[in-house]
Amino acid sequence: MVDDLGSSKVMLKSLTKVEDDEKKAKKEKKKKEKEEKKEKAKEKKEPKKVEIKKDPVKTAEAEYQAMRKKMDELKKIAMETGILEEKAHVEEGPKKKMSKKEKARQTAEMAEKARQEMEAQMKRLEEMVKKKAEEDRLAAIENERKDAVEHALRLEQLRDSFNLIQDISDYAAQKIQEENEQLEWKKYLACEKLPNAAMCDQMNTYLHLWDQELEVTTVDLASQRTQDVLTLLRTLEELIDTGSNEDNSKLENWIWIRQLFREYQTASLDVATYKLLRNVEHNLNRINIPTADFSFKDDFVTLCIWLRVMLPIPLPNPRRPPKPRIDVNFELMETSILFPAAIDCENAAIRAMYLKYDHMSDLSETFHMPDVPKEYNMDLLEASKYEWRVNLKYKYANRDKKKPQPVVQEATTDQDDNLGQKQTTESPEGKTADTEPVIEPPTEPEDFNSDEEIPMVPFKQLKPTPSQHVIMLEDNLYMETREKLQYNLPEDDINLREFVILGGVYHFNLLAQPPQPQDFITMEMTITGLYLPKKLEVLPFKVVYVPYVPPAEPEPTPVQSLTRSLSMSLRKMPEEVEDETKKQEEALDKLIAVNIKWPQHVIFLELPVVCRWDEEKKLWSKEEILDVRHNEEKCIISFRTGVFGIYGLATYRYANLPFQAYDIKPEEDGSVTVQLTAAILMLEFNIKNGLICISQLQNSPNMTLQDVVGTYYKLNILKRLMKESGIDIFPAFDAFCYVKGTSEKQWPMEKHLYYNIAQISNSFNFSWSRWNVQAGRRKIVLQMRQYLPDKGKQKNHQMLLVTPLKATFIDCTEVSQVFSEKEVESLKFCADLYHLMKTTSGIFIRNKVTKASKDSVCTLAQFLISTRIFSFS
């Protein structure tokens, strides 16, 4: 019974379980049916997507091309970073006939194999690129640390050099001041007739006394006055050239008084000419009955006058032949003038005057150089500090900036349901507000004052690098400066930054004859009519040249066309050519023809250019000057013009630049010799006891400056003598705009190097190097060696490389195949040449350098700064 009950229970349980399983199965079945219905409904709404079977070959090729493109990009990056990797090579299978399936299978296999190889190669290349990038990053960090250490050492060494240079400059300035004071004292004791040019009150008094005597000036008095005035003007020009820019009022007074003296000098010559013309019979030389002339010459002025004497007017005679054209030869001036028929000189006079000086050029705008940026006036110490500051600013501006935290501006209680109470703040007026003020973090400064410290920032690789950024800014500065320094003038205007008026000026004037004195026969008395004001009257004359243009040829007839085509000649007949030439000559004959033998006391290294002073525009111009011809053998220039006025001969200013070579070496007597091989001339200078002389001058076309060879002068005086003689080897800052074949160097570096060379010039020899031109603006390359004048055999040259950052010897020679900047081993860091000398030289040389004459060091440094041999060789 019990067993039955137990079995029944088991049966009941099993039945119950079966029922439950059936229920679950039904539920799952219903669920599946619902899901199937939903899917069918979706399929009805959405169109079925058609699966496109992909071609395995095309898919493999597309994957291969994508990987190939990525591989090329990686290779490009690797090449930029200096990593070389072999190209992936895909092996080709044997060429035999295969079925399409076999071709597809083989192509897929080859593509898969190439893909695997390329993946492996890409992986290796990526690892190499990452490794190289990490190495570069670590190297850049190390270089940055090294640059910081070198910068601190550089500033220390440059301060030492700057103090030495400043000591030399102060000594030279003090000596010049003492010499000027001593000279003024000597002039005061001498009580000379000439005033002190530096004292404007004395110069003004001199002008006042001169003005009272001006009306009675004769030619002899004008000649004597000219010599005195030129002496004063020369002293004034030296004061203006060497004057301090700080005392602008004194400089302006000197320029003002100089112009007054020039005006009085011109008036003095005009009064002397007027006095001569007031009495032709007494003052001039009668060539014949109708003509007279006058000639005068001294060291600075040559005055010639030609005129037709006023005679009674004859009765008209129609048979009288026309007067010939006036052709005057001024022998003292070595000038001849052929006047057009329109000028008959009735009641007129011709004045031709040659002045050895030029008082017009510095009135022109192009005579003065435009201002240069302040960076040009920095010394190397200031430039190094400035570059380092720009470097730090660039790093700071491109730093990884922290992202600002999101700041909640206001929080109201209406939006906060969980706090349960309202947050309020009390204002200063006692009122409550529903918001809390939020204090924003202070922003980091983006700009800094010149004396404000720039914070250091963590290292970050930048492109361009900070050093490249500094160089780019410097390049832009020099390019913009060169554009600003260059004058853009009309074609006929003379740019006095490129050309120079050489040898003086020529005055050609057509003057009215003043009334002549009339003698009384019955008594010893004359009477003269006067026109006020009593001064020279310049007669107007101008001819506008209109060149002859031959008429256009008429269209040929058919017979003429056939004749010309048969003769194959379109030449004009000789009669037609002769007639056109004659008409062109007739047009030119209406102008004034002038022949001038250019002065022999100056050197014209190129053919001179005739120009005329335009008083209105205050410049020299080639307008109104035609038919210019040169006779180099006789040194004669011929031209035609339609106006009278002031004429000059201009020539290219920098004909001797660039230099071909240079050599600086000490002599046994303690002096220093500088040899310059210019483009045309060869010059040798000797510096001794603060003075300089030309010891040799070769290849000169005449004997100019031969009388000053061997004579010692102050540097500014010798420079003026050479420039006035036509030898200008002293380029200004804008000379790069007009001289080809130069390599402009960074000026603070170049100027500092000139001082260093002057400091050690008593023990070392410096020579030109062919690598200097192609080295670039921030590198100067030259040869250097220790030199003992008393020994016959000297050491070999070493190649010296100087940059704004350091000075070092490099493993390169003048005969090397390529230029190498590899430094000589075991050299310490040196900021400039002076410290390089101290590092590499013995105690004997160092002591000898410290004992060098400060006068000679300063003079040599200023001479090298004036010639700029590193930028122009």
- pLDDT per residue as tens digits for the range 793-820: 889 999 999 999 999 999 999 999 999 9
* Cα separation, 415 vs 418, whole angstroms: 9
Residue 742 lies in a domain: yes
The pLDDT tens digits for 96-134 are 566 777 777 777 777 777 778 878 888 888 888 888 878
Whether 795 and 785 have beta carbons less than 8 Å apart is answered as yes
Q: State both tokens at 172.
A: 């030279």
482 located within any domain: no
Tell me if 509 is assigned to some domain.
yes
Is the pLDDT at 444 greater than 60? The verdict is: no
Q: Is residue 778 part of a domain?
A: yes
Same domain, 706 and 785: yes
Do 305 and 343 fall within a single domain?
Answer: yes
Which residues span the domain enclosing 703? 661-871
Span 537-542, mean pLDDT? 92
450 within some domain? no
Residues 598 and 523 both lie in one domain: yes
Domain end among 599, 627, 652: 652
Pick the residue with more confidence: 81 or 155? Answer: 155
One domain, residues 516 and 625: yes
The C-alpha atoms of residue 161 and residue 832 are separated, in whole angstroms, by 8
* Distance from C-alpha of 718 to C-alpha of 694, rounded to nearest angstrom: 9
Does residue 736 sit in the same domain as residue 630? no
535 shares a domain with 613: yes
Look at the chain and report how many structural domains it folds into: 3
Give the pLDDT confidence of 735-790 residue by residue, as tens digits.
999 999 899 999 999 999 999 999 999 999 999 999 999 999 999 999 999 999 98
Question: pLDDT band for position 311 (50/70/90)?
Answer: confident
Output the domain CATH number for residue 513. 2.60.220.50
Tokens for 384, please give them: 């190094």
Kindly state the percentage of the chain with pLDDT values over 70.
83
**233 and 340 in one domain?**
no
Tokens of 198: 């530096």
Same domain, 757 and 848: yes
Instruction: For residue 664, list its beta bridge partners.
Output: 674, 766
Same domain as 738, residue 708: yes
Residue 210 sits in the same domain as residue 353: no
pTM: 0.81
CA gap 689, 595 in Å, rounded: 47
What b-and-e string marks burial along 42-81, b requiring 16 or more CB atoms within 10 Å of the CB? Answer: eeeeeeeeeeeeeeebeebeeebeebeeebeebbeebeee
Q: How confident is the model at residue 404 (pLDDT cuts 50, 70, 90)?
A: low
**Cβ-contact 536, 270 below 8 angstroms:** yes
Question: Per-residue pLDDT tens for 167-204?
Answer: 999 999 999 889 888 988 888 888 888 898 988 999 99
Confirm whether 41 is domain-assigned: no
* 794 touches 817 (CB < 8 A): no
Task: Give pLDDT tens digits for 265-274.
Answer: 999 999 999 9
Neighbouring C-alpha atoms within 13 Å toward the C-beta of 215: 3
**Residue 440 has what pLDDT?**
45
Q: Tell whether the model's pLDDT for residue 87 goes beyond 80.
A: no
The two tokens of residue 276 are: 């001569």
Is 119 a domain residue?
no
User: What's the confidence (pLDDT) of residue 10?
Assistant: 39
Q: How far is CA 621 from CA 373, 535, 627, in A?
A: 30, 28, 15
**Calculated CA dihedral for residues 117, 120, 126, 131, nearest 10 degrees:** -130
The pLDDT confidence band at residue 417, using thresholds 50, 70 and 90, is: very low
* 755 within some domain: yes
Statement: residue 162 has pLDDT above 90 = yes
Q: Tell me which of 612, 630, 652 is where a domain ends.
A: 652
Same structural domain, 688 and 762: yes
719 plus 829 within the same structural domain: yes
